[in-house]
């Protein structure tokens, strides 16, 4: 090969980063690949738009076929985002025997299996390291680094926006709405933050992670999702008092053949490695039967970090091209999907209640829990004098999700309970 | 291939782990490789010794040639340790076209380049992930995950024994000797702990890491080493007061074409991700121009964690065998070795002095620093009444190593300085 030609779909934040890295690190790339790497064509929406990267206008096109049908282009990098149209482009690229590198988590979470099958049947590589946790090489870590181990649990802080918001709420006790505004001003949250704050973005990444880590085809719809919009200052304050840090955690756990994947705000023991992952940083904690605890930490987003993952994938593709072994990296999931039922999901819970401050109420509440086999690990009770109420906060020992939901229903029916203020999962012990 | 046959050199802690993982995770291995994996022969010193792993006595041998000369053995796993004799075995294995996986940091730090060259010229793979930071897939992270980036700094807590000792010293303020004894009782330190506590073990790992991360052939003798045996309770206590945590840190940094690699106890800012890596855990912090900050965390030693890395390497070898591309993974260093001189190494320093408690002394000390262009970031002065002395602790702004050494010499000459009690590098801001 004289030169490796790249077609770039998209020239936004990540796309500009890709162009910069290919230019600035050309000598390292050349040393590893053995020939120069060139961006040959870039698909954009508007050729005349001002860009924050120097690029020859001649390279820009608004016609995807200038890339997808160009037989000289070896690798297509997709950093334009979107789902249906983008999927069409990538299928076409693969059919035309082009290797594909994508940073598109939405697309991979929804149509990853179809795209991977298409890649394999065309003898092409499809790499997507950048789709999860930006610059952190976590997919490689799972697939190669822990190739011999049986992974039983993954916990991820995989959304930078919500981690930024929760870090500030934890640190300064500020209310959610105020911190969200600050995050928007600083560019850590979108104008419409819903995909982030509702947990959907994290759920996409957990679907991709658990598919790889458990070798089981987990779809986005299998992931139970809860966002951070309901977290109050009181919740944060109590979690601190009890020795926890509030984080939006993606949890994927396996017992035997059965798995559970969820995203929710959870109380994490302060000494857990994930608890000190702050601001916009991401981290994925992996528990393997043999290796024990490992954690991969780094920037979860951003132009250059994400572009690093994209270009490192391109290097992987190119090495495979040189060796003549593209299309061999995808390993289809080993196991059929088997999800835990609510009776098979075990966790500890934080529960905060407002109850009437009368004799015998706490004893009755205790029995509602104990009738379901659930006891308390920590208890905090404080009077709310002006309303003749008491605030009760408990951390339970392990309960099944089914049992816990039954308890909540019973509590809501009990006339002495004014309100179940909040409940969270507790992790990290 | 019907079956992949492994020859195992050594059946100690890690070797037993390898046997267990290959047995327990056979279905995962088979799914990834497409055929069963069998341990065919194991080299041991004593066939009749009691083992903590179930293994057919028939597989054991005391003759290395039963493995090295057996044409049916595809992969040789070396977990016996040692240097000269072991190197001879591995060279023979490679000459006989066997792929090699090793966990031997001493060997790789000293003779890695020779072994890799031999592997490449025989078309064989030589993988050594387990040689650095046990179960953490850091070498893959550097070589593949960050393939497109230019790494400018690595800081590693790469020795579990010293991290265990320093964690206890930090937490309980106990003296070094007492904690060392505890570590020995718990099995976290050897009866002869010198390779660990003198920093040599960490230095070997830093030589391997910096060779890969900087693509430059760094030898063990290029690594400046200082151990933890001189750290006092006072040093720990002052470092805490000033907002730092004392850690044994391997530092590899690059400016332009020049690099510096060292291992020393250093004061790390408390908020730095490495500062919360405690007990026997290891972590490697990597700074890349594009990706920014990443960190890889996990167990640095132990039977199963290290064996995980070994067997994951075996999976890598086997995938390459299946694809017919073994011997292509080693990329020789891109750059000639170029080490920073003491005038090119920049750092902040902690200095603790005992001086005579007289008027003008502090001003004179300040001028000794400022004559070399070094100012103070933090200052602490306390009288030591019974001796008419004062204890002065300063954290400097950036200084060159050369400048700092000149300052120390000047301080030692100054008659008002009773003693330079201790100095440490300060990192992590």
Give per-residue pLDDT as tens, B44-89: 999 999 998 999 999 999 999 999 999 999 999 999 999 999 999 9
Cα–Cα distance for residue pair B129/A102, rounded to 1 Å = 27
CB proximity A38 to B under 8 Å:
no
pLDDT in tens, B348-405: 999 999 999 999 999 999 999 999 999 999 999 999 988 899 999 999 999 999 999 9
Q: What part of B 296-315 touches A (C-beta under 8 Å)?
A: 296-299, 302, 304-305, 307-312, 314-315
Nearest CB to A291: which of B31, B144, B304? B304
- How many other β-carbons are positioned within 10 Å of the β-carbon of residue B328? 16
- Contacts across the A-B interface (CB distance below 8 Å): 205
> What's the pLDDT score for residue B1?
66
Rounded alpha-carbon distances, angstroms, from residue A339 to A111, A219, B56, B174 = 20, 11, 39, 49
**φ, ψ at A10 (rounded to 5°):** 105, 140
* Residues comprising chain A, all counted: 429
Query: Residue range B231-249: average pLDDT?
Result: 97
> What's the pLDDT score for residue B330?
83
Q: What part of B 190-209 touches A (C-beta under 8 Å)?
A: none
Report DSSP state, residue A41: E
Cα–Cα distance for residue pair B234/B240, rounded to 1 Å = 10
Report DSSP state, residue B16: H
Catalytic residue among A87, A153, A168, A205: A205
pLDDT in tens, A100-131: 999 999 999 999 999 999 999 999 999 999 99
Cα–Cα distance for residue pair A312/A22, rounded to 1 Å = 10
pLDDT in tens, B103-159: 999 999 999 999 999 999 999 999 999 999 989 999 999 999 999 999 999 999 999
Cα–Cα distance for residue pair A351/A353, rounded to 1 Å = 7
Strand partners, A68: none
In sequence order, which ranges of B41-144 are alpha helices (DSSP H)? 65-68, 84-95, 105-121, 138-140
Nearest to B322, CA basis, from B120, B76, B75: B75
A374 pLDDT exceeds 90?
yes
Rounded alpha-carbon distances, angstroms, from residue A11 to A53, A188, A361, B428 = 9, 20, 62, 34
Contact B297 A273 (CB under 8 A): yes
Binding-site annotation, residues of B: 9-16, 105, 190
Strand partners, B116: none
Residues of A in Cβ contact (< 8 Å) with B20 = 290
Half-sphere exposure of A377 (CA within 13 A, CB side): 14
Residues of B in Cβ contact (< 8 Å) with A299 = 291-294
Cβ(B136)–Cβ(B282) below 8 Å: yes
CB proximity B403 to A under 8 Å:
no
Contact B297 A302 (CB under 8 A): no
In sequence order, which ranges of B324-400 are alpha helices (DSSP H)? 361-371
Residues of A in Cβ contact (< 8 Å) with B254 = none
Closest residue, chain B, to A32 (C-alpha): B331
Nearest to A71, CA basis, from A125, A155, A5, A137: A5
Which of A125, A275, A291 is the best substitution to test chain B (most B C-beta atoms within 10 A)? A291
pLDDT over 70, % of chain B:
100
Beta-strand runs (E) in A145-190: 151-157
> What's the pLDDT score for residue A1?
66
Q: What part of B 68-107 touches A (C-beta under 8 Å)?
A: none
Contact A290 B307 (CB under 8 A): yes
Contact B299 A294 (CB under 8 A): yes
Residue whose entry in the numeric block shows the structure tokens 């040599």: B200
B2 pLDDT exceeds 90?
no
Residues of B in Cβ contact (< 8 Å) with A312 = 144-149
Rounded alpha-carbon distances, angstroms, from residue B41 to B9, B191, B389 = 8, 31, 67
Q: What is chain B's mean pLDDT, rounded?
A: 95
Q: What part of A 242-281 touches B (C-beta under 8 Å)?
A: 273, 276, 281
Cα–Cα distance for residue pair B44/A346, rounded to 1 Å = 44
> What's the pLDDT score for residue B93?
98
Residues of B in Cβ contact (< 8 Å) with A307 = 290
pLDDT in tens, A82-96: 999 999 999 999 999
Contact B148 A312 (CB under 8 A): yes
A308 pLDDT exceeds 80?
yes
Query: Residue range A178-182: average pLDDT?
Result: 96
**φ, ψ at B30 (rounded to 5°):** -60, -40
Please indicate whether residue B205 is annotated as part of the active site.
yes
SS3 A228: coil
Cβ(A157)–Cβ(A163) below 8 Å: yes
Binding-site annotation, residues of B for L-homoserine: 190
Domains along chain B with CATH numbers: 4-134+303-323 (3.40.50.720), 155-298 (3.30.360.10), 346-427 (3.30.70.260)
CA torsion sign for A240, A242, A245, A248 is negative
Query: Residue range B311-334: average pLDDT?
Result: 91
Contact B294 A298 (CB under 8 A): yes
SS3 A282: strand
**Contacts for B199 with CB less than 8 Å, ≥ 6 apart:** B159, B162, B225, B226, B227, B228, B248, B263, B264
ipTM of the complex: 0.92
Contact A141 B140 (CB under 8 A): yes
Cα–Cα distance for residue pair A171/A173, rounded to 1 Å = 6
Cβ(A217)–Cβ(A337) below 8 Å: yes
Contact B137 A145 (CB under 8 A): yes
Cβ(A295)–Cβ(B305) below 8 Å: no
Cα–Cα distance for residue pair B41/A333, rounded to 1 Å = 32
SS3 B257: coil
pLDDT in tens, A151-161: 999 999 999 99
Cα–Cα distance for residue pair B130/B107, rounded to 1 Å = 12
pLDDT over 90, % of chain B:
93
Residues of B in Cβ contact (< 8 Å) with A141 = 137, 140-141, 145, 296
Rounded alpha-carbon distances, angstroms, from residue A195 to A130, A306, A311, B25, B89 = 18, 19, 26, 38, 57
Report DSSP state, residue B341: P
Q: What is chain A's mean pLDDT, rounded?
A: 95
Cβ(A151)–Cβ(A138) below 8 Å: no
Closest residue, chain B, to A317 (C-alpha): B144
Nearest CA distance, A70 vs chain B (angstrom): 25
Strand partners, A283: A157, A297
Query: Residue range A42-48: average pLDDT?
Result: 96
**φ, ψ at A66 (rounded to 5°):** -60, -20
Residues of B in Cβ contact (< 8 Å) with A289 = 24-25, 304
Closest residue, chain A, to B20 (C-alpha): A290
**Contacts for B28 with CB less than 8 Å, ≥ 6 apart:** A148, A150, A215, A334
Cα–Cα distance for residue pair A29/A52, rounded to 1 Å = 23
Contact B308 A28 (CB under 8 A): no
pLDDT in tens, A218-235: 999 999 999 999 999 999
Cα–Cα distance for residue pair A38/A3, rounded to 1 Å = 7
A78 pLDDT exceeds 70?
yes
Contact B299 A291 (CB under 8 A): yes
Strand partners, A99: A75
Catalytic residue among B168, B205, B224, B340: B205
Contact B144 A140 (CB under 8 A): yes
Nearest CB to A149: which of B25, B148, B325? B25
Which of B308, B311, B330, B336 is the best substitution to test chain A (most A C-beta atoms within 10 A)? B308
- Dihedral angle over CA of B226, B228, B230, B231, nearest 10: 130
State the pLDDT confidence band at A408, using cuts at 50, 70 and 90.
very high
Q: What part of A 129-188 touches B (C-beta under 8 Å)?
A: 129, 135-137, 140-141, 144-150
């Amino acid at each position: 090969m004289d030169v490796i030609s790249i077609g770039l779909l998209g020239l936004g934040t990540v796309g500009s980063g890709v162009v910069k890295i290919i230019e600035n690190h050309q000598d390292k790339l050349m040393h590893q690949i053995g020939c120069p790497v060139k961006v040959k064509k870039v698909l954009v929406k508007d050729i005349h738009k001002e860009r924050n990267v120097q690029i020859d206008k001649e390279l820009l096109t608004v016609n995807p076929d200038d890339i997808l049908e160009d037989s000289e282009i070896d690798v297509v990098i997709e950093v334009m985002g979107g789902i249906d149209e983008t999927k069409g482009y990538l299928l076409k690229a693969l059919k035309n025997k082009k290797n594909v590198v994508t940073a598109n988590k939405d697309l991979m979470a929804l149509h990853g299996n179809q795209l991977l099958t298409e890649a394999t049947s065309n003898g092409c590589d499809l790499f997507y390291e950048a789709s999860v946790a930006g610059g952190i090489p976590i997919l490689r870590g799972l697939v190669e680094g822990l190739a011999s181990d049986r992974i039983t649990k993954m916990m991820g802080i995989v959304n930078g926006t919500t981690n930024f918001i929760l870090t500030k709420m934890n640190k300064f006790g500020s209310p959610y709405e105020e911190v969200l505004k600050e995050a928007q001003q600083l560019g850590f949250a979108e104008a419409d933050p819903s995909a982030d704050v509702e947990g959907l973005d994290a759920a996409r990444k957990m679907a991709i992670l658990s598919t790889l880590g458990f070798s089981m085809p987990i779809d986005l719809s299998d992931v139970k999702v809860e966002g951070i919009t309901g977290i109050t200052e009181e919740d944060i304050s109590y979690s601190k008092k009890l020795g926890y840090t509030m984080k939006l955690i993606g949890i994927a756990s396996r017992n035997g053949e059965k798995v559970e994947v969820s995203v929710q705000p959870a109380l994490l023991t302060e000494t857990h490695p994930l608890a000190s992952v702050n601001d916009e940083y991401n981290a994925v904690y992996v528990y393997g039967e043999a290796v024990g605890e490992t954690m991969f930490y780094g920037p979860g987003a951003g132009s250059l970090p994400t572009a690093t993952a994209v270009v490192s994938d391109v290097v992987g593709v190119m090495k495979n091209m040189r060796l003549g072994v593209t299309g061999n990296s995808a390993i289809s999931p080993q196991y059929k999907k088997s999800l835990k039922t609510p009776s098979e999901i075990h966790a500890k819970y934080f529960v905060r209640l407002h109850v009437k401050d009368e004799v015998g109420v706490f004893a009755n509440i205790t029995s509602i829990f104990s009738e379901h086999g659930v006891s308390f690990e920590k208890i905090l009770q404080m009077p709310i004098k002006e309303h003749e109420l008491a605030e009760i906060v408990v951390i339970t020992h392990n309960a099944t999700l089914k049992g816990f939901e039954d308890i909540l229903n019973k509590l809501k029916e009990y006339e002495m309970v004014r309100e179940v203020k909040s409940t969270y999962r507790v992790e990290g012990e």
